[in-house]
Amino acid sequence: MTDADRQDRWRGLLPAIPAGARVMLTAFLLIIGTGYIVAVANIFHEHQQADGKPGLSIDDVRAVYGRLTVARDEVIPSRMLTMVRGAMREYIDDEEDFEILETWLKNGGSEAGLNEGPRRKTPRRALMRNCMRCHAQSSGTDISKEAPFGPDEFEVDYQLISPFVASTSESSGGFVEVPPQYTIPRLVLVSHIHMLSIPMFTLVVAMLFTMTRWPPSLRGLLTPIPMLALVFDFSGWWLARFADPFVYILAGAGGLFGMVFGLQIVAVLIDMWRPAPVSRPTG
Ligand code: HEC
């Protein structure tokens, strides 16, 4: 036995854990694994339209976190249009209200347009009827702090909604640069939620992986990767607004995380239930 082997006291600990605890850990890994797949599906659903085209691509990542440059005649849907067509669609019961909002947003969501249309059929009215119960500051919901549309349910404040309806910023030549769809407050919220939760189960899975009987070199190589990938991923969310290469870094880190994390889960599950645990060296 080499020195390295002797120091590798964690090796084989996992299969030596009592069966009851291994059953618990198996359930944990299945929940975490499934949760991760659902989270990826959610990313796809949420962001695939970000660049105005169906399907998830690097431009979607760029549109959300970085600065997307598009030919001037290409229209990028605003954050509100994306949400109205996506996650917020379910809150609009009235088909006509949906069309009023969609048309107004597609046409740039101007302040004047907010009041256009027959009485009771204006975008302002549609916002009041469908959105303000959650997005009015007086509603006290979490989302109303992050994305407020007005002081109370009867007043839409254009100043407040303008970041969500804006779709283009300054132009350069024949191209337009679109600012990140994630505003700073939104990024703060998304960051702290993710940074306090994802590393926790990443840590648990990596520790379990270290306790398997897979070759030391493989464990040594794969154990730190997901956590390191998170460092690059989380930093990328912030840095992509300033420098475009971080768009690739964050997308690459996210992909790498998923692959190695998935591999670790499978490797742990196999090792945990593989027969003949090694006899652990004593002392
Ligand atoms: C039942 C409560 C509720 C209603 C009604 C509702 N929303 Fe939301 N909205 C939320 C929540 C919660 C989020 C954040 C979750 C998410 O991003 O999916 C959100 C997020 C958003 C965002 C993204 C904010 C950001 O920071 O990027 C926009 C834009 C938005 N909603 C627009 C609308 C519009 C327009 C309507 C009306 C058609 C509407 N919402 C109705 C709860 C609501």
Cα–Cα distance, 176 to 76 (Å, whole number): 10
Largest CA distance in the chain: 84
Residues at CB less than 6 angstroms from ligand 1: 79-80, 83-84, 87-88, 91-92, 130-131, 133-135, 143, 146-147, 164, 186
Which distant-in-sequence residues (6+ apart) come within 8 Å of 106 by Cβ? 75, 77, 81
Query: How many residues in the chain?
Result: 283
Contact 101, 88 (CB under 8 A): no
Q: Whose CA is nearest to atom 5 of ligand 1?
A: 131
Residue 259: partners with Cβ closer than 8 Å, 6 or more residues away:
none
Q: How far is CA 186 from CA 111, 145, 272, in A?
A: 23, 10, 40
How far is the C-alpha of 233 from the C-alpha of 239, rounded, in Å?
10
- Taking CA atoms only, the protein residue closest to ligand 1 atom 15 is 143
- Report d(CA 137, CA 152) in Å as an integer: 6
Distance from the CA of 132 to the center of ligand 1, in angstroms? 9
Q: What is the predicted pLDDT for the residue at 175?
A: 72
Query: Could you identify the atom of ligand 1 that is nearest to the CA of residue 91?
Result: 5
172-223 pLDDT tens trace: 456 777 888 888 999 999 999 999 999 999 999 999 999 999 999 999 999 9
What is the structure's pLDDT at 283?
44
pLDDT of 45 > 90? The answer is no
Angle, CA of 31, 34 and 36, to the nearest 5°: 105
CA dihedral 249→255→259→265, nearest 10 degrees, is: 100
- Please check the confidence at residue 281 and state whether its pLDDT lies above 60: no
Measured in Å, residue 44 CA sits from the centre of ligand 1 at: 18
Reported as a single tens digit per residue, the pLDDT across 124-158 is 999 999 999 999 999 999 999 999 999 999 899 99
